[in-house]
Structure 1
Amino acid sequence: MQKELFQLSRRKGIMSEGLKEELAKELGFYDVVQKEGWGGIRARDAGNMVKLAIEKAQRQMMGQ
């Protein structure tokens, strides 16, 4: 995972599209994103995506 995937911007959000897609694929609901967009995912899936992003960011910070 690259540092530029996490960007702090009010307009774009904290996670880049690439990171969100990577996480959705890893969690198994990327097909829903492709068919319905981000608004089509369940709240639980969104929460799991955020949780996984936080875990990855923490692991990245510990490795530095």
Structure 2
Amino acid sequence: MSNILSRIIRVGVLALVMLAPASPALAGAPHRFVVFGDSLSDPGNALVLLRDVEIPPFDSLIPDAPYARG
């Protein structure tokens, strides 16, 4: 009896291992994307809390050159 039980458990584990990679494929397309940025380019949740956008002082940080203004 233990030989049959051992065989059933092995087949069950094998089936789970074989079907586990298929579950993300069956999930479908994502509904939204979450993108993480660094603190230099992303103001974080300040826009949500303050309803105001921080405008960095670009005129003083970007050098005056032909390539600087884009």
* TM-score band w.r.t. shorter chain: under 0.3
Q: RCO greater where, 1 or 2, for CA within 8 Å and sep 6 or more? A: 1
- Greater share of helix residues, 1 or 2? 1
Normalising by structure 1, what TM-score? Answer: 0.24
Structure exhibiting the larger radius of gyration computed from Cα positions: 2
Return the TM-score normalized by structure 2.
0.23
